[in-house]
Amino acid sequence: MGGSEMALDRELRELARGAEFTATDEEVDRAIEEAAEELGESPESVRENVAYIMDSTFEEEGVSTSFNEMVSGTSLEDDVSSTGDPRLEALEMYKLRQRI
Amino acid sequence: MTNWFPSREWLGTYRDRLNENETYGEQSEGWGVDFDGSFVFEITELPVAETTLDDLPTELSETFRERLESVSESRIEQLIDDAPPELTERMDDVSADSPRERFITALFETEIEAMPAVTWPDLCAEMPDDLDNLLDQLERYVHEDTVYAYLDLYDGECRTAEVLEEPDGTSAAFVLTAPYTKWTELIDGADVIEAVMSQDMDLDGDITSVIVYPEAAQEMGDTAGRIETTFLF
Amino acid sequence: MSQVLQSQYSGQRVDTGSKWYTLFQKGVELGTWNVEKLFDEIGFEQDRASWEALSQDERDQIRYLISGFLDGEREVAGDAATNLQRIMGAPCLDENTEKEMYMTMLTLTEHKHTQFLDVYMQEVMDDQDNYNDLDPRRGTRIPVVQATGLGEVFEHQGLLTAKAANTLNPVDIAKAATNYHLNVEGILARVGASAISRFPERADFPLLNYAFKFVSTDEGRHITHGIELLKELIEKEEAGNPQFQGVKQGIVETLYQDVPYMADFGYMFTDALDDPLGLDFNEVLMRGGNLIDGMYNETLGLDIDYMEVLNVVRDRYLEINEWDIKQRVHEQEQHYQRKRGVAADGGV
C-alpha cells in the first residue's frame, strides 16, 4: 500500500481529554521524516495518516475525548510499553501496519 | 464578613450548611462509618501570580486605596520610610509626581503572591479587616498555586472542616481536585457529578463508595452552590 | 479532524465526498492489517513467557478480560454482517450506498478482531473449554461472560439490532446504534482496552498490546461512524420530521438500560477476582463515566441524567458485590455440561 490518496488534514492536535504530548515537535517531525524514508512514502502522507490514526472524527471543532483509546486516549499515559506520546505511538502503529 | 471564596470563613459556613442540611444528613447516613470518609478539596491554579492588589474586588482594594490617599502627609511619609526594600524597588519603577502616588501605585501593582514581601504590620493596620485577613490567609494557605481544604465527613455529619496550613501532613481517603475556575462554576450552580464525569474535576478515591451515596455527593455540591459567595479572584 | 477529507477521485454511483466513503477508504488503507502477518512480525514467544510467569489468579484475571472481548467481537461481527448491514440501507437514512460500503469494512475488521483473539487465546493462554461445540453463534457464550452482565448487554445488542433491521424505524435504529457503537464499542471496549494499557511491567504481552492498538484504531473509526449516524438521526428529529421523534429519548434510555450491566464487565475482571494485577475497578468506573460524558454530552449534545446513571449502577453493584463469581462461573459450566449431555443423547 502506498500513501493515502485522500487529501488530509496534517495538523497533529492534542486532545484536551486525550493523552498529553510528551515529545517535542522537532522529535516528532524527525521521526516522521525517518519513517517516510524507511517506508518510501512522502513525509506529508505519513503525517496525514498519523493525524487520522489519532483522530478519525469529522467534528469541526474537534472532540476532546479520543475515540482511539490506546493510541491517543488517556490510556496511553498508563502504558509502560508505549512511546508515551500519541503522535509517536500513532507513527509506530502506521509503520507496523505498512509492514503487515 | 462577606463569604469570600476561598477562605477559612467560607469553609466554616460550608460545614455549618452541610450540618443544617437534612437531605445531606439522610443521604450520607453511614458514610465514613465502616471506611474512611474524609475528603480533601484541592483548589489549584489560583491566579495569585497574575492578580495584583488592584485586581481584587473593589470593596477590598478601593477602600484600602482611599484610606492611603487620605492619611496625613506625615503618616504616608512614615509608611514610605518603613517600606521594605522590595517595595522601595517597585516604587523606583513607577513614574508619578508625588511619593504618595508612587507608593500607592507600586503597592497596588504588586501581585498577590508577592504581597508578603511588600507588606508589614504597620501597613496592614491601614487595611480593611477583610483584606488584612484574606492576605494573611493567602500567605498561610496557598502552596504554589493551590489551597487544600480538609473535611472529616462521618455518618451524615461534617465533623471538621479546615484549610490546611501543612497539606503534606494530612491524608484523606478522597481527594477532589480542580482549578479555581471550576470551583467557582460549582459554587455558581454547576453539577458536581457532571463536573467529575467531564473531567473538569478529578476525584481520587474509592469510587464504589461514592456510587453507593450518589445523592449525598450531589447534595454536597448543591450545598456549596447555595452559599452566598463573593469570589476573591 | 477539523477538515473533511476529500478524495481526489469522483464516481457516478458512489459519492466520494461522503463521510462514509472516507471511513470506508481509510478502513481499506488502515484497517486491513493482516492478523497472521502480525503473528509472524511480533511472534508469540514473549507473550507465552509472560503468561507462564504469572500466578493462576493473575491469569484468571486476564482470561476473564480477554474472554469478554472474544465473545464481544464475535457478537458484533455477527450483528454487523446481518442486522447492521441491512439497517444501512434503511430509507430513513441518507447516503445508503456509502454506508453499506463502510459496513462491509466494519464487519471485516470485527471478524479480524475475533480471528486474532481466538488464535491468541489458543496459542498463548492455556486453553480452557469454551464450549465451542455448543455453538457460540447460537448464544453459547464463555461461562464468565454468560454468568455476568456482559451477556445481558450482548443479548440486548442482538435484540435491538434485529428489531431495527426488521422495522427500519429511525428510533429503533437509534437504539441499536447506541447499544452497539456507543455502549459496546465506545465504552465497554474502551474501558477494557484501558485496562490492558494498565497491565504492570511483569505482564508484558507485546503481541496482545500491538494487536489491541490496531483494534483500538479500528474501533475509533467504528465509533466515528456511530456518532455520525446518531447525529444524522438527531438532526432529523430536531428538524421536526415526525418519523424521527423519540430518537434522543431512545438514545438516553438505551444508556440507562445498558449501563448497570456494563459496570459488571469492569467488576468481573477486577474486584471479583481481588485484582492481583492492580487493574483497578475505580479506574474502570471513572473511565467509563468520562467516556459516557465525552460521547453522549460533549459530542452528541445530549443531557445525560447522571443521578439516573449512578442509581442504576449502584443498585446493580450492591447486587453483584454479593456474588461469588467463581461459583457462578462453575454453575454456568455445569449448565453447559448438561446441555452437552442432551446433545450427545440426540437432542439439539
ipTM of the complex: 0.91
Q: What is the CATH number of domain C42-129+149-337?
A: 1.10.620.20
The backbone torsions φ and ψ at residue C264, rounded to the nearest 5 degrees and listed phi first, read -55, -40
Beta carbons within 8 Å of C302's beta carbon, 6+ residues apart: C248, C251, C252, C296
How far apart (Å, rounded) are the C-alpha atoms in residues C137 and C154? 12
Long-range contacts of C115-121 (CB under 8 A, 24+ apart): C115/C35, C116/C35, C116/C38, C116/C211, C116/C215, C117/C66, C117/C69, C117/C70, C117/C73, C118/C70, C119/C35, C119/C39, C120/C47, C120/C66, C120/C207, C120/C208, C120/C211, C121/C63, C121/C66, C121/C67, C121/C70
What does the alpha-carbon distance between residue C279 and residue A72 come to, in Å, rounded to a whole number?
A: 20
User: Do the beta carbons of residue C269 and residue C255 sit within 8 Å?
Assistant: no
C9 contacts: CB under 8 Å, gap ≥ 6: A5, C16
Residue C112 has pLDDT above 70, yes or no: yes
Helix-strand-coil split of chain B, %, nearest 5: 50, 15, 30
Set of cell numbers at residue C82: 446481518
pLDDT at site C345: 65
Average pLDDT over residues A53-64: 84
pLDDT tens, residue by residue, B28-62: 999 999 999 999 999 999 999 999 999 999 999 99
The answer, yes or no, to whether residue A7 has pLDDT greater than 50, is no
Chain A positions touching C219 (Cβ under 8 A) are: 67-69
Nearest neighbour of B211 by CB, restricted to C290, C297, C314: C314
The predicted pLDDT at position A3 comes to 41
Three-state secondary structure call for residue C106: helix
Return the residue matching grid coordinates 458536581.
Answer: B192
C286 interfaces chain B, CB cutoff of 8 Å: yes
Please, what is the average pLDDT of chain C? 92
**C34-82, pLDDT tens digit by residue?**
999 999 999 999 999 999 999 999 999 999 999 999 989 988 999 999 9
- How far apart are the CA of C33 and the nearest CA of chain A, in angstroms? 6
Model pLDDT, residue A63: 83
Tens of pLDDT, residue by residue over C235-277, are 999 999 999 999 999 999 999 999 999 988 999 899 988 999 9
> What is the residue type of C274?
D
Give CA torsion, residues A23, A25, A27, A28, to 10 deg. 90
What is the rounded CA–CA span in Å between residue B91 and residue A70?
55
Cell representation of residue C139? 448464544
Determine how β-strand B202-204 pairs with β-strand B174-179.
antiparallel
* Model pLDDT, residue C348: 46
Chains B, C: CB pairs < 8 Å: 48
C7 touches chain A (CB under 8 A): yes
User: Cβ–Cβ contacts within 10 Å for residue C8, how many?
Assistant: 9
The residue of chain B nearest to residue C312, with distances taken between CA atoms, is B211
Mean pLDDT, all residues of chain A: 89
CA distance A95 to C314: 44
Find residue B174's DSSP bridge partners.
B39
Q: What's the CA gap between C196 and C279, in Å, rounded? A: 8
How does pLDDT run across C267-302, given as a tens digit for each residue?
989 998 899 999 999 999 999 999 999 999 999 999
Closest by Cβ to B207, choosing from C286, C298, C318: C286
The residues, any chain, with a CB within 8 Å of residue C139's CB and separated by 6 or more, are none
- Residue B31: list chain C partners with CB under 8 A: none
Instruction: Tell me whether residues B199 and C290 touch, CB distance under 8 A.
Output: yes
**Residue matched to cell numbers 454536597:** B220
Q: C 257-276 residues with CB below 8 A of B?
A: 271
Strands B174-179 and B4-5: unpaired
Residues 6+ apart with CB under 8 A from C201: A80
- ∠B141-B146-B152 over CA atoms, to 5°? 70
Residue C180: what pLDDT? 97
Residue whose C-alpha cell reads 509472560 in the numeric block: C50
Q: For residue B160, is pLDDT > 90?
A: yes
**Residue C208 phi, psi (nearest 5):** -60, -45
CB pair distance less than 8 Å for B198 and C290: yes
Q: How far is CA C258 from the centre of its chain?
A: 12
Identify the pLDDT of residue C148: 85
Query: With contact defined as beta carbons under 8 Å apart, do C123 and C40 qualify?
Result: no
Contacts of A71 in chain C (CB under 8 A): 213, 216-217, 220
CA distance C296 to chain A (A): 11
Cβ of residue B35 closer than 8 Å to a chain C Cβ: no
Nearest-angstrom CA–CA distance, B202 and C284: 14
Q: Out of A9-18, C101-110, C135-144, C306-315, which region has the weakest mean confidence (pLDDT)?
A: C135-144
Query: Chain B closest CA to C158's CA: distance in Å?
Result: 29
Q: Which chain B residues are closer than 8 Å to C282 by Cβ? A: 205-208
User: Which has more confidence, A2 or B14?
Assistant: B14
Q: Mean of the per-residue pLDDT values for chain B?
A: 95
Sign of the torsion angle spanned by Cα atoms B50, B53, B58, B60: positive
From A65, A80, A99, residue closest to C298, measured CB to CB: A65
Phi, psi (degrees; rounded to nearest 5) at B127:
-80, 150
The CATH superfamily label for domain B4-46+150-231 reads SCP2 sterol-binding domain (3.30.1050.10)
Question: For the residues C172-201, what does the mean pLDDT come to?
Answer: 96
- Domain ranges across chain C: 42-129+149-337
DSSP B203: E
User: Would you say residue C135 has pLDDT above 80?
Assistant: no
Nearest CA in chain C to B205: C282
Residue C128: per-residue pLDDT: 67
Partner residue opposite A79 with nearest CB, options C8, C33, C197: C197
| Cβ atoms B123, B2 nearer than 8 A | no
Kindly state whether B89 is in contact with chain C, defined as any CB-CB distance less than 8 angstroms.
Answer: no
* pLDDT, greater one: A11 or C279: C279
Inform me whether the C-beta atom of residue B173 falls under 8 Å from chain C C-beta atoms. Answer: no
Query: Could you state, in order of their start, the residue ranges of all structural domains in chain B?
Result: 4-46+150-231, 57-140
pLDDT range class, residue C202, cuts 50, 70, 90: very high
Check C30 against A76: CB less than 8 A apart: no
Contacts with C64 (C-beta within 8 Å, 6 or more apart), sequence order: C144, C268, C269, C272, C273
Q: Do B207 and C317 touch (CB under 8 A)?
A: no
Residues C2, A61: C-beta atoms closer than 8 Å: yes
User: What pLDDT is attached to residue B61?
Assistant: 93
- Confidence grade of residue C306 (pLDDT, cut at 50, 70, 90): very high
By C-alpha distance, the chain C residue nearest A52 is C1
Task: Tell me whether residues C282 and B197 touch, CB distance under 8 A.
Answer: no
Name which of B27, B176, B196, B207 to mutate to probe chain C: the one with the most chain C Cβ atoms within 10 A of its Cβ: B207
pLDDT score for A11 = 82
